[in-house]
């Protein structure tokens, strides 16, 4: 296996992880920003107030984007396994 192949597999793996985790991270970021603006406007500084809305937002985002994420991971894994099969020949 050449170094270029290893770098290519690593790049695709990082790209897949970023694409798969992106929607949940963006949802948590937006909810956290909204909660922070609300806390700043009302001067309520409760640290635990952000956890439940963020968790709910991440779960809802996971339900919405779950099939796409699963397809993305399956496509990456299938390509990886078929690449291993062709290297062995």
Say what the pLDDT of residue 89 is.
58
- Under 8 Å between Cβ of 76 and 12: yes
Distance of CA 29 to the CA centre of its chain: 12
| Percentage, residues of the chain above pLDDT 90 | 70
Domain span at 65: 3-87
Task: Give yes or no for residue 88 having a pLDDT over 60.
Answer: no
Number of domains in the chain: 1
Taking alpha carbons only, the member of 82, 79, 85 closest to residue 12 is 79
pLDDT at 9 over 60: yes
32 close to 54: Cβ distance less than 8 angstroms: yes
Angle, helix 3-42 to helix 51-87, in steps of 10 degrees: 170
Name every residue whose Cβ is closer than 8 Å to that of residue 40 and which is 6 or more positions away in sequence. none
């Amino acid at each position: 296996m050449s170094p270029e192949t290893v770098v290519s597999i690593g790049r695709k793996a990082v790209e897949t992880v970023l694409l798969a985790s992106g929607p949940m991270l963006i949802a948590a970021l937006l909810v956290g920003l909204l909660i922070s603006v609300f806390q700043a406007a009302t001067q309520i500084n409760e640290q635990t107030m952000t956890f439940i809305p963020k968790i709910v937002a991440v779960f809802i985002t996971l339900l919405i984007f779950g099939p796409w994420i699963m397809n993305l991971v399956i496509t990456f894994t299938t390509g990886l396994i078929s690449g291993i099969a062709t290297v062995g020949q």
